Structure 1
Amino acid sequence: MLGAVTLCQDWKTKAMDKPWITEGPREFERWLALGQVDPRQVERIREGLEITAQERISEVGGDQSPEVFFPGLTARPWWSRDDFPWIDDLEAAAPVIRGEFQAFDQDVDHTAPAPTGLAEDGKWRALYLACIGRPYARNLPAFTQTLKTLSAIPGGTNSGMTYFSTVLGGTHIAPHSGFTNAHLRCHLSLINTEGSRIRVANEERSWDEGKALVFDDSYEHEVWNQGSDRRTVLLLDFWHPDLTAPEITALTHMMDIWRRMYSRHFWAHQVAA
């Protein structure tokens, strides 16, 4: 299980050659040859993989700087809650979700350090429900109501990362950007503290306990907790609303490819180290 945690921590943080990026177009063409979708329906996915492999994101992505970029998706740093009808149900479930988190976390520290290099060691911690689109089976039995709520959100547990994100007091998470603009990110505030805020692109906002924020993490963002207590949110990625059903099918396949290729690459470097 330590290996799975380490993969989650290091996802998108290793500055090393990335075959899951350079080989993306070839893997996608191999999948298209199976005939599961009409290639014309997923041209945006093909184009994005080529842009990414050719290292052209800085040319076409504007202020967005993800590791994998898909063109033609609505781009804005912050999104309105009115864009997502499921937010009301998510916020209504906040007390139950917070209760499951606190019940699981009260006796044993099940959290792990979040992505390395972005905050002082041990100051940003994660309790995973899904990692790189794959359920984190060890923790799921304790979160039945949380998962029931998330099941109503398109990609809420299988489009990227889903975890309880805890930032201790006096912590700064350095500027960074997410893996892809194919998903958006939601923070449901569970435990808030005065002095906590987040910047996405050029705008800062604060959390309200029990309320959700939605932003595009392909824009540069950073977090501060200048209070003395911890701040915890349920962090979840979900599919960008502009994506079509065939595109989501294609991206679900590619997420599996990225995860498996990254895992092999990561462990090859661990053995060689």
Structure 2
Amino acid sequence: MSERLKQQRRRYVKRAGKTFMRLLTDFFGRQSVVGDTPVLDTKHFPFLASFSENWTTIRAEIDEILKHREAVPAFQEVSPDQKRIAKGTNWRTFILFGFGEKLQKNCSKAPVTTALLEQIPNLQTAWFSILAPGYHIPAHRGVSKGILRAHLGLIVPKDAARCRLRVDDQICIWREGEIFVFDDTFEHEVWNDTEEERVILLFDFDRPMHFWGRAVNASFVKLLKLTAYYQEPRKKMQSLEDRFEAVTRRADANLERLGDETGG
């Protein structure tokens, strides 16, 4: 009974939240100082240049993490709200920051990436997004127009045009070392119609807005952190972070033991 009531309450909160966000969407759009288009010009965000400049180092850090790919959680393991768009292990996420909260153990695996992310004004979330060959992420929308999303291409299939993101009526193609910014409250979906894995660094930050837009957005984010949308992933992130740490420690111990046995 308690679980049923919990689910009913959660559905009510989600419906109420969607209604509230529809009211806020137009307001945030009018408050924006960087335009209100599906894809935004990166010239508005000078802090992004350092990511393209250091992308090979970021790529090297995710390459090390991917040596333990099976321990990287599927998206729906972190957030049950994503189970409609994330199936099986087709979409894995290695989270570094969640709603501004730093995952210390995960961040220690990517120190350069973490240092760059910490320079972003009002960073909200950041993770490595790992998409399996042949997977399609269905059309969906983000939560708040008060937050923008950036993608940095790290591992992109050779036939890049067949691995793409649609945002409203615009198509974005990932290129290694290139970055773009979009508003994920516009309907968007992803296709990886190749036989290769796609890996990007994905991160969210506050949309630059006039005073009242910033004030309302800050209050909204605080409220969001009180809901199951935030609280459940927050609890799961800790255990999943510990799981990955345990896997890497065992792997390191096994390598050390093998070296001792072989005299290496």
User: Per-residue deviation at 1:255?
Assistant: 2.6
Provide Cα deviations, 1:2-47, integer angstroms capped at 9, x if missing partner: xxxxxxxxxxxx971217x85xxxxxxxxxxxxxxxxxxxxxxxxx
1:240 aligns with one of 207, 223, 239? 207
Q: Larger Rg: 1 or 2?
A: 2
Q: What is the aligned-residue identity percentage? A: 25
Moved over 6 A (4+): none
Change (3 A) 1:164 1:263: same
Partner Cα distance (2:170, 2:187) in 1: 11
Partner Cα distance (1:129, 1:163) in 2: 5
Partner Cα distance (2:112, 2:20) in 1: 42
> Residue in 2 aligned with 1:209?
176
TM-align CA RMSD: 2.9
Aligned-partner SS, 1:138: helix
Say if 2:91 and 2:132, in contact at 8 Å, map to a contact too: yes
TM-score, with length taken from structure 1: 0.69
> Residue in 2 aligned with 1:192?
156
> Residue in 2 aligned with 1:91?
52
Higher helix share: 2
User: Per-residue deviation at 1:122?
Assistant: 1.2
TM-score, with length taken from structure 2: 0.71
The answer for unaligned runs of 5 or more in structure 2 is 1-8, 76-81, 234-264
> Residue in 1 aligned with 2:227?
261
User: Per-residue deviation at 1:85?
Assistant: 1.1
Partner Cα distance (1:264, 1:218) in 2: 18
The answer for unaligned runs of 5 or more in structure 1 is 1-13, 23-51, 63-68, 268-273
> Residue in 2 aligned with 1:168?
132
User: Per-residue deviation at 1:263?
Assistant: 6.4
User: Per-residue deviation at 1:152?
Assistant: 1.9
Q: Which has the larger displacement, 184-193 or 145-154?
A: 145-154
- 2:172 partner amino acid: R
> Residue in 1 aligned with 2:28?
70
Provide Cα deviations, 1:198-223, integer angstroms capped at 9, x if missing partner: 00001112111111011110100000
